[in-house]
Structure 1
Amino acid sequence: MRDILVTLIVFASLPLIIKNPVNGVLMWIWISVMNPHTQGWGFATTFPFAQIIAVITLFSLATSRAQKTLPGSAITLTLLAMVLWMNVTTLFAIFPAASQLQLAKVMKIMLMSLVTMVVIRSRQDVHRMIWILVISLGFYGVKGGIFTVREGGNFRVWGPIGTFIGGNNEIALALIIAIPLMRYLQLSTDRRWVRHGLTLTMALSGMAALGSYSRGALLAIAAMIGLMWIKSHKKLLAGVIITLLAPLALLFMPERWMERMDSINNYQEDSSAMGRINAWRMAYNLAKDRFFGGGFEIAEPSVFYLYAPDPTAVHAAHSIYFQALGEHGFVGLALYLLLGVLTWRCAAWVVRNSSDDPELLWSSNLAKMIQASLIGFAVGGAFLSLLYFDVPYYLMAAVVALRALTEQRLATRSAALSR
């Protein structure tokens, strides 16, 4: 039944996608982030929904009268440079065949991220995209939160199998990214039932993140909540709520959860933590030796034998930063860090230039919440191999659109004042 439902939704959307490529981008985000087809048990689990949506979206964009140029933004140019550099590093990959296969997957993500930047232009489009992201991730937040509360936190929360967010650590970080977006939607509605529903979804998503038993997620939650508090207009009230609810949530979790979190202070005695550090040192040594890095898919015994302090402890990078460094060298890491800095500064510019305009209050609120999402990703991503996770790239596209919309509003205001 679930397989049929997802299939009907996707194919029913195709005429709408042909009519407007924005609908294609929204459907792509839903399929690629939520992966609803993984919740079935039949033919839909392997059906190429994403490819069909992507092809129809590109066709719609090509035949549409809508603007087809990328926004003239430093974020866009840096993303293009990073995409180009990935193709260059693949030419010098240690494992060419495996690297080419991974490059094809990553380029699909990057292509649709760029398409998102092209078509997401209006306030309505941005708002709809945020709703799709919240629905896609909030589904697992509600599901995982209920599971955590029902089981008393004694079992780990996992994401959908075979996806970016399938692991316990990965689903936790995805939910941390989503919570500030939920807060933005809450600030954007006057409907009481929607506000209450989002409050419940945020609470359950937070419990699901804790129920993942992810130590990195705990650090990411702290960073995300801290920035949300800093950006809040009612710091005293927000501080009181955090002070009251955070200890209750932590005390709800069982003793073995506390023991796992306490191991952060004794990482030298934790084999998982030391394995990650060994992988980080391998990536650093590899990047020093190879200007173009190792290319995709370098977590192999032969590579660790050459570059790791402990060649027997073979692990994935477990860090977006060391993943970029190992796979694409210091240039790749620099481009990735520059992309993050530019996105942050662009969001900060939106906040500075929209806070005093009632018509741009939504833009200011969203820019602040995207910053909270990105700081959570920046902290949590330091411990996960999520360099190609698509949600942060969609948020970058949202920031580019916010900047353009804010500039348009400022220009209109300036023209009106000069008359």
Structure 2
Amino acid sequence: MRDIILTLIVFASLPFIFKRPFYGAVLWIWISVMNPHTQSWGFAQNMPFAAIIAGTTILAMMAKPKEVYFPKTGLTWMLLAFTAWIGVTCVFAIGPQDPWPLMNKIVKIMGMTLVVSMLVRTRKEIEMLVWIVVISLGYYGVKGGIFTIRSGGAYRVWGPSGTFIEGNNEVALALIMVVPLMLFLIPLIANRWGKRAMWLSAGLCALASLGSYSRGAALALAAMLAFLWLKSHEKVKLGALLVLLAPLALVFMPDQWHNRIDTINNYEQDGSAMGRINAWRMAINLAADHPFTGGGLQIYNAEIFSMYAPIPDDIHAAHSIYFQVLGEHGYVGLLLYLGMYLVVWRNGSWVINNAGKLPDMEWATRLVRMLQVSLIGFMVGGAFLSLAYFDVPYYIMVIMVATRLLVERTLKEQTVQKMQEQEKEAHSVA
């Protein structure tokens, strides 16, 4: 039944994409982030929904070019440059495995990220993107939070199989990222029970991240909450709420959870932690030998580790977005990758400094603050996970830049309007 419902939803939505290409961007994010086909049990699991939606969206963009706007922003050029550089490093890849299948997947992610940026322009569209990300990840957060409560935290929360967030660490970080977006949406919900449901969902997402038993996610959650408090206009209320709820959540978790988290303090005795450090050192040594292009994609194997890892037999994935990019694409790739976050952060700071000049742009300031909180969570948690190509952070970047472009346009329109009013007044006086 789930397969039929999902298939009907996708195919029934295709005509609306031709009517308005932006709906294709929304549907794409839903399919790529939530991966609803993984929740089915039949033919829908193997249906190429993503390809169908992407193809339909591109055709709709070609049919309605007036609804397409290429954003000439720093993020756009950095995103294109980073993707192109990944292609260059694939040409010079040193590993025994073929890097091009993974490169093909990355190009699809980056390409559709660019497509989304070309279709979002208005406040309503920006808020729709936030909603679809919240719905897509919030489903697993609510589900995982309830599971954690029912099990008393005795079992780990896992993500949907066959996706970026399949692992317990990965889904935990994704849920941490979505909490600030939920908090942004709460004032936009008119219904009192709707607001309460969103508050409850945010709490369940946070609890589910704890229920994942992820040490990196625990650090990311702490960083996210600390930055959330700094960005809040109601520091006393939020601080009191955190002081009240955080101990309750920690007390709720069983002893085995605390034993797991406590290994952060004596990581030298933990095989998993030392394996990550071994992978990080491998990336540093590889980048020292290939500083410009790195080793290319698919470097986490016995041959590469035998050449560059301090412990050749301890083969691990990068377990860090930073060392992942460094090892795969060298220092040039790392600078491009970090440059995207720097550009986006500066866009957010610009909005905070300028949106206050517009009385009806308070929502933009709130949104940008929550997007920054979300990115802080990802950048801290990402230090321990191989999620450099995870699509949600790129969608958050797009939303941030789209918000700046909207504020810029509004400021220019108001400036032009004031100039016209001044000219009219001058003519009337004359």
TM-score, normalization: structure 2? 0.96
Q: What's the CA shift for 1:297?
A: 1.0
1:189 corresponding residue in structure 2: 189
Residue 62 of structure 1 deviates from its aligned partner by: 1.1
Distance in 1 (CA, whole Å) between partners of 2:158 and 2:399 is 28
The equivalent of 2:310 in structure 1 is 309
Distance in 2 (CA, whole Å) between partners of 1:219 and 1:136 is: 23
1:278-293 alignment runs, 5 A limit:
278-290=278-290, 291-293=292-294
The answer to whether the 8 Å contact 1:305/1:312 transfers is yes
Corresponding residue for residue 261 of structure 2: 261
Does structure 1 conserve the Cα–Cα contact (< 8 Å) formed by 2:96 and 2:303?
Answer: no
Q: Amino acid of the residue matched to residue 241 of structure 1?
A: L
- Stretches of structure 1 that go unaligned for 5 or more consecutive residues are none
Tell me which moved more, 395-404 or 305-314.
395-404
Superposed displacement of residue 356, structure 1? 4.7
Q: Distance in 2 between matches of 1:219 and 1:352?
A: 29
Query: Larger deviation: 95-104 or 250-259?
Result: 95-104
Distance 2:96 2:113 in 1: 25
How far apart, in 2, do the equivalents of 1:91 and 1:292 lie? 9
Classify 1:97/1:313 alpha carbon distance in 2 versus 1 (closer, same or farther; 3 Å). closer
- Whole-angstrom distance in 1 between the partners of 2:352 and 2:305: 45
| Letter of the structure 1 residue corresponding to residue 284 of structure 2 | Y
1:117-163 per-position Cα deviation (integer Å, ceiling 9, x unaligned): 10011111111111000000000000000000010000000000010
Letter matched to residue 220 of structure 2: A
* Alpha-carbon RMSD: 1.1
In structure 2, how many angstroms separate the alpha carbons of the residues matched to 1:218 and 1:81? 33
Give, in angstroms, the shift of residue 341 of structure 1.
Answer: 1.0
Alpha-carbon offset, residue 335 of structure 1: 0.4
Identity in percent:
54
Secondary structure at 1:203's aligned position in 2?
Answer: helix
Cα separation, 1, equivalents of 2:69 and 2:145: 42
Could you say which residue in structure 1 is the equivalent of 2:331?
330
Q: Given that residues 90 and 96 in structure 1 are in contact (C-alpha distance below 8 angstroms), is that contact kept between their aligned partners in structure 2?
A: no
Distance in 1 of aligned mates of 2:256 and 2:97: 43
- Following superposition, the deviation at residue 97 of structure 1 comes to 5.6
Q: Structure 1 pair 404/123, CA: closer, same or farther in 2 (3 Å)? A: same
| 8 Å CA contact retained: 1:71, 1:400 | no
Query: For residues 368 and 190 of structure 1, what CA distance do their matches in structure 2 show?
Result: 21
Matched, 1:49 2:49: yes
Query: Which region of structure 1 is more displaced relative to structure 2, 186-195 or 260-269?
Result: 186-195
Structure 1 residue 67: deviation in Å? Answer: 4.3
CA deviations 1:162-214 (Å, max 9, x no partner) are 10001000000000110000011012233212211100100110110000000
Deviations along 1:283-308, one digit per CA (max 9) or x if unpaired, are: 11111111311111110100000000
| 2:244 corresponds to 1:211 | no
**What's the counterpart of residue 318 of structure 1?**
319
Amino acid aligned to 2:324: Q
The structure that has the greater radius of gyration is: 2
Cα deviations across residues 88-117 of structure 1 (Å, max 9, x unaligned)?
Answer: 111101247620110000000000000011
* Distance across 2 between alignment mates of 1:416 and 1:219: 48
1:77 Cα offset (Å): 0.9
- Aligned counterparts of 1:98 and 1:106: Cα–Cα separation in 2: 14
TM-score scaled by length of structure 1: 0.98
Any gaps of 5 or more consecutive residues in structure 2? 423-430
What residue is the counterpart of 2:129 in the other structure? 129
